[in-house]
A and B are shown apart, each in its own frame.
Chain A
């Protein structure tokens, strides 16, 4: 059973526009959420995180929103740039003494067109 779901396998946006990547989770014990970016043949690179005590965290062009009641989080990239083209993974951890274990979604391939 997938506890972290990224329902859109791919997303295409124009340079300069907003990219919105979505993620849903089912485990209410999760209390820390992260986004990673991955280029081909490289490992995932940490992008931004949010704790469950917050509903928003911002870092430059990247903002993560958390809606705990809906068990939903999203990553906004504004403005999108061609270099942002990559696979984005949502991950979650927490609860039950297993806060070290990240549970990942399957990823969303973002393509930013010039």
Chain B
């Protein structure tokens, strides 16, 4: 597709369950980013990938969060043993390369609700 694609668009799950969120970046984009937006907050950086490598995981809130990217394309963000504070919109973005002067292009996000 032309833009960044994320699935599912909405996910409701019970506390304690694991969830997996998927991101399909713009074709040809080597850099991929995950952010989240909690209610009333700005976007918060989680992790980024250059190819299949994640040089900076410092934004991941806890060890329950992990992410991987395969084939330099699709990425999955996994949250284990979900907690209510994990409820947020999780946004994925991609850019042509990792660069300070390349805009990041965002998908529409996955709205995660933990009951």
A interface list, Cβ under 8 A from B: 4, 31-32, 34, 36, 41-46, 49, 51, 89, 91, 93-94, 98-107
B56–A100 touching, CB < 8 Å: yes
Given that A93-B100, A94-B100, A106-B40 are known contacts, is A101 also in contact with B45, CB under 8 Å in the complex?
Answer: yes
**Nearest-Cβ distance from residue B33 to partner chain A, whole angstroms:** 7
Complex: chain A residue closest to B37, CB-CB: A104
**Chain B, 25-60, contact with A by CB distance < 8 Å: what is the 0/1 string?**
000000101010000111111001000000010010
Using Cβ atoms and an 8 Å threshold, which residues of chain A touch B100? 31-32, 93-94, 99-100
Partner of A43, one of B44, B99, B109: B109
B33–A46 touching, CB < 8 Å: no
Using Cβ atoms and an 8 Å threshold, which residues of chain A touch B86? none
Q: Tell me the B83-110 residues at the A interface (CB within 8 Å).
A: 91, 93, 98-101, 103-109
A102–B43 touching, CB < 8 Å: yes
Partner of A44, one of B6, B31, B43, B45: B43
Partner of B101, one of A4, A32, A41, A106: A32
A43–B106 touching, CB < 8 Å: yes
Answer whether residue B21 sits at the interface, using C-beta atoms and an 8 A cutoff: no
Using Cβ atoms and an 8 Å threshold, which residues of chain A touch B4? 43
